[in-house]
Structure 1
């Protein structure tokens, strides 16, 4: 007998576990795409709990597996295509010092991305967060291999706030690195191309003109949540594709881009968001883009309901990101 998909050790979509962070000298089998957990939530400005997000997303993916992975929409199965896909487990991170934890996560990304595919190329990583600050180490690692990237940022918040504004008026550098400032910092470090774009924005801003000006300075255009009512899914997809056309792309999905009706389990929920179906349709519309990295973040399972609404949605988002990567092999 084979074990049912809800039994046994839990990896994303029942993928094989590989110790990608094994010390030098240990043989690590080659892989093309890796899921990597980032259990970190001590840079949140709202509710904590996203440190349990990686395993929450994995739990939401328990019914996914290769033999039942055929899409009714595309007829494709990303698990049985050309790519070797693995789950690397979680990065061991301290929960007592954000600065150290983010250095640990940066190092882990460097180790995993330095592994080779069977063809000797750089593998791609899908990070399971963790609060949104975890995207910063992922971008640092991605740029080492691919250069500055266009970021498609699905979120209800802009996350480009100047640390001097969001972190208590410049209280400290430590306080300034958080899940609302990481894209500002990424811009300052030269990680983000000026062809980046937000999608699903609806949360209030702190300075009516200053925040938007700074956001544009950081290289971002904006698709607001209610734009989908005016232009539809096709219009949103067109705006995203036009903005990042011809560039390497990093897709970051904060689960709070969804309305709390579809994703209550997140740190900073904002009413008026997209449905799960709308988000998945937008993601499917990005087929063919050269996606070099991705993440799903801000899943805080403690706030979910007995039906596991949020973790199920997050798992589907992660599957959509995997599918996009498999659809476009890149070297």
Structure 2
């Protein structure tokens, strides 16, 4: 009897109310089709972190490559490609894993207190453009597909007509690191010249292709996730003397690797440098090297982080940075003129049960988006002030 009384006490009031069942005239359900479109959106156009189709941060999904009628300012584009790796494959599943890990990022709770804005509710239009359908069978064709896709999306007019950004920005979710080469080829055509590269990585990725010795060399085998910046430099896609590596700590063939790197004009910041310089010192060194006006491509290999924290990658190297350090550095670099970015080498097959590598990648993406929106809004405000000042002078 006592258990029954306790059960009755704890039951919701609508269960105890017989009128809910006995009086059909009091049915709380509205007639189907009676809600206006506005009311339907108010009721149903919402997703919890654990619900909905997996797009990045629950953003609107548009197949941008085949649908040109939806303009955007920032596009999230997946590049599920990993047939240029030198060790563990699996980064083709990186875009899917990063999107899934971004599920707790929602527009209704996306406010970034360090910048004082919510990138998902700002005037800029950010959408998930889906994935490039990249062939896994032919690397030459894959590079062509990616180059065309980046050029197509990056050449469109932005959604915000009065934006100071002449073209939309693309944030690429890799994929192995070789996807940076077609991205740089596209940017070269879009901006009419080379750009600087800010490269977060444990490895140089400026290696001469011959550093991967083979008794059966081929032109196509020169293209790897460790040689793409060497190829890009030789094609004139990277500004020599204005680029930087950050987080280096890998083994080398010999000192000649550094000589090749120096000919390509990169500043080298090793993982150990953070002990003496701190995050602020690294930020200052990068800003001094690149400047705040130079068009810059930001390329972040997730293996810049220590594999103890982010094991889900194809070429792990011990002694890396923490997620807090990387995020702190990225936040200090908002002044850079970043025209495109990637987050690559997330290989979920090697990740932990908690998806920690993918979670870090999704947070890095959020920080990049926040910086893009923050810089853009600051530039728009500055432009508006200049126009208002000019109008005031004309009136006087």
Answer yes or no: is 1:284 the counterpart of 2:331. Answer: yes
CA distance in 1, matches of 2:201, 2:89: 17
Aligned to 1:10: 54
Name whichever of 111-120 and 265-274 sits farther off.
Answer: 111-120
Unaligned runs of 5+ in 2: 1-43, 381-396
Name whichever of 113-122 and 243-252 sits farther off.
Answer: 113-122
Do the aligned residues in 1 keep the contact of 2:206 with 2:260 (CA within 8 Å)?
yes
**SS state of the match for residue 80, structure 1?**
coil
CA distance in 2, matches of 1:159, 1:168: 18
Answer yes or no: is 1:326 the counterpart of 2:373. Answer: yes
CA distance in 1, matches of 2:123, 2:327: 23
Matches within 5 A, 1:167-178: 167-168=213-214, 171-178=217-224
Alpha carbons of structure 1 residues 12 and 264: separation in structure 2 relative to 1, 3 Å? same
CA distance in 1, matches of 2:196, 2:346: 24
CA distance in 2, matches of 1:80, 1:289: 23
CA distance in 2, matches of 1:27, 1:229: 48
Shift of 1:322: 1.1
Q: Identify the match of residue 160 of structure 1 among 178, 181, 206.
A: 206
CA distance in 1, matches of 2:156, 2:116: 31
**SS state of the match for residue 3, structure 1?**
coil
**SS state of the match for residue 223, structure 1?**
strand
CA distance in 2, matches of 1:170, 1:327: 50
Task: List per-residue Cα deviations over 1:288-320 (Å, max 9, x = no partner).
Answer: 211100000000001111111100000011111
Matches within 5 A, 1:1-331: 1=44, 2-22=46-66, 26-118=67-159, 119=161, 121-146=166-191, 147-168=193-214, 171-194=217-240, 195-207=242-254, 209-245=255-291, 246-329=293-376
Shift of 1:3: 3.0
CA distance in 2, matches of 1:287, 1:7: 32
Shift of 1:186: 0.5
Shift of 1:75: 2.2
| Larger radius of gyration between Structure 1 and Structure 2 | 2
Aligned-pair Cα RMSD in Å: 1.5
Alpha carbons of structure 1 residues 218 and 316: separation in structure 2 relative to 1, 3 Å? same
Name the TM-score, length of structure 1 as normaliser: 0.95
CA distance in 1, matches of 2:359, 2:215: 38
Shift of 1:129: 0.2
Do the aligned residues in 2 keep the contact of 1:160 with 1:215 (CA within 8 Å)?
yes
CA distance in 1, matches of 2:252, 2:146: 29
Do the aligned residues in 1 keep the contact of 2:52 with 2:58 (CA within 8 Å)?
no
Higher relative contact order (CA closer than 8 Å, sequence separation 6+): 1
Q: Please identify runs of 4+ aligned residues in structure 1 that moved more than 3 A.
A: none
Alpha carbons of structure 1 residues 169 and 296: separation in structure 2 relative to 1, 3 Å? farther
**SS state of the match for residue 236, structure 2?**
coil
**SS state of the match for residue 103, structure 2?**
coil
Name the TM-score, length of structure 2 as normaliser: 0.80
Do the aligned residues in 2 keep the contact of 1:170 with 1:176 (CA within 8 Å)?
no
Decide which structure has greater helix share.
2
